[in-house]
């Protein structure tokens, strides 16, 4: 039977504009291209998971207004099952690409229509992927999945509830913004050490073109090189990090006996292919294409010191 993963967070529409430069106040420009795609960290991860042949369930905040039908159809098209928690209005992120790393104007927080949320039984699921949105539902499911000995992957963000979720995560992965938001973290090793004190066995921090640092248990941090993508500055880089997290969950679910260096290399190759092919539309690679790239390149991992 196919594996099933639960992704918990929120749904947003990504209004993605390809520009020659980001407009400044008083300036009017026509964008080179414009698309609307499903967005939100765990939604992008869920689409990655579904595209890899698994069942993906998205337990997400989603607007109850007249954009709801479009959001539902997007998830159906990507073979993602919706478990809704309705908000008063839909959320749109405005994204600018084509000028180096993408820039985003995020939607404001939307009021939930009810305090209750659907409590999903961990039985029947292989893993939980969450990014901290829906504080109450995130904590509840992080606890129940952890107690049930199901893998919990936390996409760490500089949000108030991250510390509350860390003790229940089987793996915690942060981006560069997490380190930059806290002056106590001067280098990636500081973040990995902090995650260890919070009880996380597997820790990682991704730093874009500089690759990633990761460690497991009491082992020292190791560095993994990023894969260079020619012309990345003109690519649609939005959602690449989310694809990385989805691919990491896929690899761990399919090959739980493999070492974490393998899982991070699979996710790195997935993200590189996603970036290479994501020009106008967002591209989700197949497992076969990722494995081909993995086998064609030497894996470079260096221990700290």
- Domains annotated on the chain, with CATH: 4-107+114-303 (3.40.1190.20)
Residue whose tokens read 């064609």: 296
Contact status, residue 62 vs residue 11, Cβ threshold 8 Å: yes
Beta-carbon neighbour count of residue 79 at 10 Å?
15
Contact status, residue 139 vs residue 166, Cβ threshold 8 Å: no
Question: What's the pLDDT score for residue 56?
Answer: 98
Contact status, residue 124 vs residue 1, Cβ threshold 8 Å: no
Question: What's the pLDDT score for residue 232?
Answer: 74
In which residue ranges of the chain is pLDDT below 50? 305
pTM more than 0.85: yes
In this structure, what DSSP letter does residue 227 have?
P
User: How far does CA 215 lie from the centroid of its chain?
Assistant: 19
DSSP string, 165-212: HGGG-SEEEE-HHHHHH-TT--SHHHHHHHHHHTT-SEEEEE-GGG-E
Question: What's the pLDDT score for residue 84?
Answer: 97
Beta-carbon neighbour count of residue 214 at 10 Å?
24
- 242 sits in the region (left: phi over 0; alpha: psi -120 to 50; else beta) called alpha
Angle at CA of residue 246, ends 243 and 250, nearest 5°? 135
């Amino acid at each position: 039977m196919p594996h099933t993963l639960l992704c918990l967070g929120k749904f947003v529409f990504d209004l993605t504009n390809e520009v020659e430069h980001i407009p400044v106040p008083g300036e009017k420009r026509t964008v080179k291209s414009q698309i609307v795609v499903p967005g939100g960290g765990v939604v992008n991860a869920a689409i990655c998971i579904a595209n890899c042949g698994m069942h993906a369930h998205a337990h997400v905040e989603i607007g109850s207004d007249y954009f709801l039908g479009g959001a539902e159809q997007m998830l159906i098209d990507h073979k993602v099952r919706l478990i809704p928690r309705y908000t008063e209005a839909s959320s749109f992120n405005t994204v600018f690409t084509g000028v180096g790393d993408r820039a985003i104007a995020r939607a404001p927080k939307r009021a939930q229509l009810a305090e209750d949320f659907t409590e999903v039984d961990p039985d029947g699921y292989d893993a939980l992927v969450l990014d901290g949105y829906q504080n109450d539902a995130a904590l509840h499911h992080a606890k129940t999945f952890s107690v049930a000995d199901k893998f919990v992957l936390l996409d760490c963000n500089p949000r108030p509830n991250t510390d509350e979720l860390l003790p229940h995560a089987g793996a915690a992965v942060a981006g560069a913004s997490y380190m930059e938001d806290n002056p106590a973290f001067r280098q990636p090793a500081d973040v990995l050490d902090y995650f260890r004190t919070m009880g996380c066995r597997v820790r990682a921090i991704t730093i874009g073109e500089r690759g990633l640092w990761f460690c497991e248990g009491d082992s020292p941090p190791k560095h993994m090189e990023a894969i260079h993508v020619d012309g990345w500055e003109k690519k649609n880089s939005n959602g690449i990090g989310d694809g990385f997290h989805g691919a990491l969950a896929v690899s761990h679910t399919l090959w739980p006996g493999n070492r974490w260096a393998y899982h991070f290399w699979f996710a790195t190759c997935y993200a590189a292919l996603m970036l290479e092919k994501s020009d106008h539309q967002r591209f989700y690679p197949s497992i076969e294409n990722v494995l081909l790239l993995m086998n064609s390149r030497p894996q470079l991992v260096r221990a700290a010191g």
